[in-house]
């Protein structure tokens, strides 16, 4: 029996350059998908996975994210006065219990690995999850729930993966597999954006990880890699040579909102599934497309 995964690190310090100019004044993580921001989906997925403590690694210009997860007294008072109880309940659902959400700041844009390292004091000496806010898994069970369940079976370290066409491997980091059992693949390493003919597999890594705390010691001395940044993948590869690493093939779709097109597609995908808006949106699209 392995100790439960209690904490998740969510790096939210990025500049969101792929969706500029929208992110010039709005944190990328607060861009709305239908009726709630990206970060709300990622935190909700963590809660559904049994995560007790969310750690947001923020940066300059990201205080609006902290405000989102706090009380908005004027708004709440107004909704109460107007008896808009349904909307008030939706607003109050975004507020975590006191002490269940922590913030730490990444003072310089030194990469994903550095952002995770910034959370080391809050994580402490226990295995933890990492969720990237660009990618949302709005279905249940979410990807993190599936990974936590897998961790309780195999322990070690895990990454979430999905199959992609081999000709697309040059867009992603992919795993090098050793052996597969069901939805779990034992790994020998990870390769960043390999050419299709050289790719060790067509399983691309999704922005969900479960890592042992030993990763922090590696990140502390990790040299800058691709893009002049401290890459999490580089330290994970080092850890892979010392500890068990599995890839978890998760069921369900992951929606990549890190680009303008991906964000638009996510809005359409979830908009069409929305109980209140789906029918009207479907009718509108039919009219526009014909």
Least confident among 15-29, 30-44, 111-125, 257-271: 15-29
pLDDT of residue 262: 92
Query: What is the Cα–Cα distance from 133 to 90, expressed in whole angstroms?
Result: 21
Of 191 and 118, the structure prediction assigns the larger pLDDT to 118
Sign of the Cα torsion 157, 161, 167, 173 reads negative
Q: For residue 243, which of 201, 284, 223, 214 has the smallest C-alpha distance?
A: 214
* Stated pTM of the model: 0.91
Extents of the domains making up the chain: 7-258, 260-290
Q: Which CATH superfamily is domain 7-258 in?
A: Spore Coat Polysaccharide Biosynthesis Protein SpsA; Chain A (3.90.550.10)
Q: For residue 275, which of 35, 40, 49 has the smallest C-alpha distance?
A: 35
pLDDT of residue 105: 92
Query: What is the Cα–Cα distance from 64 to 28, expressed in whole angstroms?
Result: 11
> pLDDT tens for residues 226-284?
777 888 888 988 888 888 899 999 888 889 898 899 999 999 999 999 999 999 999 99
Main-chain phi, psi angles of 24, to 5 degrees: -65, -35
pLDDT of residue 16: 79
Q: Tell me the pLDDT band of 1, cut-offs 50, 70 and 90.
A: low
DSSP string computed for 78-120: HHHHTT-HHHHHHHHTTPPPTTSEEEEE--S---HHHHHHTTH
Query: What is the Cα–Cα distance from 187 to 175, expressed in whole angstroms?
Result: 7
> pLDDT tens for residues 177-223?
888 888 899 988 888 888 888 889 989 999 999 999 999 999 988 87
Main-chain phi, psi angles of 78, to 5 degrees: -65, -45
Of 93 and 2, the structure prediction assigns the larger pLDDT to 93
pLDDT of residue 132: 93
pLDDT of residue 10: 96
Q: Chain-wide mean pLDDT for the chain?
A: 90
Sign of the Cα torsion 195, 198, 203, 205 reads negative
Residue 108 has pLDDT above 70, yes or no: yes
Residue 43 has pLDDT above 90, yes or no: yes
Sign of the Cα torsion 217, 218, 221, 227 reads negative
* Orientation of helix 260-273 relative to helix 278-289, angle to 10°: 120
Residue 90 has pLDDT above 80, yes or no: yes
Residue 127 has pLDDT above 90, yes or no: yes
What's the start-to-end Cα distance of the chain, in Å?
A: 57
Q: Tell me the pLDDT band of 286, cut-offs 50, 70 and 90.
A: very high
Query: What is the Cα–Cα distance from 26 to 37, expressed in whole angstroms?
Result: 11
Q: Tell me the pLDDT band of 151, cut-offs 50, 70 and 90.
A: very high
Residue 60 has pLDDT above 90, yes or no: no
Sign of the Cα torsion 16, 213, 242, 179 reads negative
């Amino acid at each position: 029996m392995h100790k439960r995964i209690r904490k998740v690190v969510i790096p939210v310090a990025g500049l969101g350059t792929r969706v500029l100019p929208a992110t010039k004044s709005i944190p990328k993580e607060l861009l709305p998908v239908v009726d709630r921001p990206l970060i709300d989906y990622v935190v909700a997925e963590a809660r559904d996975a049994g995560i007790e403590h969310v750690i947001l690694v923020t940066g300059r210009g990201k205080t609006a994210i902290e405000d989102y997860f706090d009380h908005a007294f004027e708004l709440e008072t107004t909704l109460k006065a107007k008896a808009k109880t349904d909307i008030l309940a939706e607003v109050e659902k975004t507020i975590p219990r006191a002490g269940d959400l922590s913030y730490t700041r990444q003072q310089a844009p030194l990469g994903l690995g550095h952002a995770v390292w910034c959370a080391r004091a809050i994580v402490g000496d226990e295995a933890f999850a990492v969720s990237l806010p660009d990618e949302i898994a709005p279905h249940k069970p979410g990807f993190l729930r599936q990974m936590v369940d897998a961790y309780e079976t195999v322990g070690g370290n895990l990454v979430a993966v999905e199959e992609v066409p081999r000709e697309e491997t040059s867009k992603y980091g992919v795993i090098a597999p050793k052996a597969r059992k069901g939805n779990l693949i034992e790994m020998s390493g990870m390769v960043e954006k390999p050419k299709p003919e050289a790719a060790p597999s067509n399983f691309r890594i999704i922005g969900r990880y479960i890592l042992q705390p030993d990763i922090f010691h590696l990140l502390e001395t990790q040299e800058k890699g691709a893009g002049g940044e401290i890459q999490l993948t580089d330290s994970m590869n080092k850890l892979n040579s010392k500890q068990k690493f599995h890839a978890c093939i998760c069921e369900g779709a992951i929606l990549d909102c890190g680009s303008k097109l991906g964000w638009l597609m996510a809005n359409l995908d979830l908009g069409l599934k929305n109980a209140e808006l789906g029918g009207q949106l479907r009718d509108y699209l039919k009219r526009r497309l014909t």
